[in-house]
Amino acid sequence: MEEYDVIIIGASLTGSRVADLVSNNCKTLLIEEHEKIGSPLQCSGLVSYRILELIPDLPKKIVLNKIKSAKLYSPNRNCLELKPKYPVYVIDRIRLDKFLFDKAKDKIDVKTGEKFESFRYMNDSIMIKTNKGVYYSKILIGADGPNSIVRKQMKIKPKKFLLGLQTTVKGEFDPDSVELWFGSKVCPNFFSWVVPLNKNYARIGLATTENTMGFYNSFLKKRVGIEKKPDIVGRIPYGLIDKANDKRVMLVGDAAFQVKPFSGGGLIYGLMSSEICADAIEKSLAENRFDGKFFEKNYDNKWKKFLSLPIIKGAMLRRLFNILPDFAINFGFYAASHKKNILEKWDMDLL
């Protein structure tokens, strides 16, 4: 059987990004269980200015809208409008995934419509089994999302999950402002969102741990006066994972819980970690080191150096919002209205 330097499971954002970054120096195989790249969509598409720093050649058509402010609604429906210091964009996530995949596909081997099943350590390689075949590699990358099969086989305990629902609806929206709605009657343990694509269309959704469909239906009806089945159903992982590596194996993106606990966004964290992962792969092959300690030093410790503190801070803020009664959140919004200049300086990626 042909052996690869690296096999990557999952061709969404992080998997394709890692594949592109290592493709010039490594013999790479990218395995994706779905036939169509970017589907099913599981993202609100709201992302910070760092997207242009991490992907400088991002096509303009992928950016659908530029957000100038965030309108935060308290349980008693008072609105706190914040205008961030840095721009926020609404992107076409399917096109983004396809763009990153297309950058890599001609330099690597690709298998779509093929599902990863298991891996097993051999003497000097790792054997990867799918529903269609067996492959051998020096390194395995699990970029297979929040329900990662790679992570499960590594016996790494997951942290916490929310269930998210979202749809795109027609209506009248402020194209310059994203809406976030808080409160136990709107969306306990998280928030509901309205992300405008333009003045006529918006992505509306929420995430929570209980009665998700009930809160989704209620919010959609109250906000736009319609009922519509969700276009997107997906789990949102959050919390700092104990480790994201083992011998010959690394996890990246949602599989590694590289997600902002307060907002649920994982795009920027995933892209940042993809670069660190790709660097660790190239160092591993150059030094012929594939042990867990090597990957811990060159991958796990490095991505956590940048992201562990933001993830811990975000998780603490998330827990605070989860335990506060509505009247306390209302008071917090009132107090925050007098400190808008401070809040607007916060970095949404490093909360």
Q: Give one DSSP letter per residue of 130-183, joined into a string.
A: ESS-EEEEEEEEE---TT-HHHHHTTPPP-EEEEEEEEEEES---TTEEEEE-S
**pLDDT tens track of the chain, all 351 residues?**
789 999 999 999 999 999 999 999 999 999 999 999 987 777 888 999 999 999 999 999 999 999 999 999 999 999 999 998 888 999 999 999 999 999 999 999 999 999 999 999 999 999 999 999 999 999 999 999 999 999 999 999 888 899 999 999 999 999 999 999 999 999 999 999 999 999 999 999 999 999 999 999 999 999 999 999 999 999 999 999 999 999 999 999 999 999 999 889 999 999 999 999 999 999 999 999 999 999 999 999 999 999 999 999 999 988 888 899 999 999 999 999 888 887 878 777 765
Is 316 inside any structural domain?
yes
Which residue carries 């919390």 as its tokens? 239
How many angstroms separate the Cα of 152 from the Cα of each of 117, 139, 142, 144?
11, 17, 10, 11
pTM, two decimal places: 0.94
Is 350 inside any structural domain?
no
Structural domain harbouring 314: 3-343
In this structure, the number of other CB atoms found within 10 A of the CB of residue 336 comes to: 15
Is 337 inside any structural domain?
yes
The Cα angle at residue 270 between residues 233 and 348, in degrees rounded to 5: 85
User: In this structure, what CATH number is given to the domain that contains residue 309?
Assistant: 3.50.50.60
Is 351 inside any structural domain?
no
Cross-sheet strand order for the sheet of 69-73: 79-82, 69-73, 177-181, 192-196, 201-208, 160-170, 232-238
Is 349 inside any structural domain?
no
Is 282 inside any structural domain?
yes
Is 110 inside any structural domain?
yes
The amino acid that residue 94 corresponds to is I
Is 277 inside any structural domain?
yes
Say how far apart CA 166 and CA 264 lie, in whole Å: 13
**How many structural domains does the chain have?**
1
Say how far apart CA 51 and CA 56 lie, in whole Å: 8
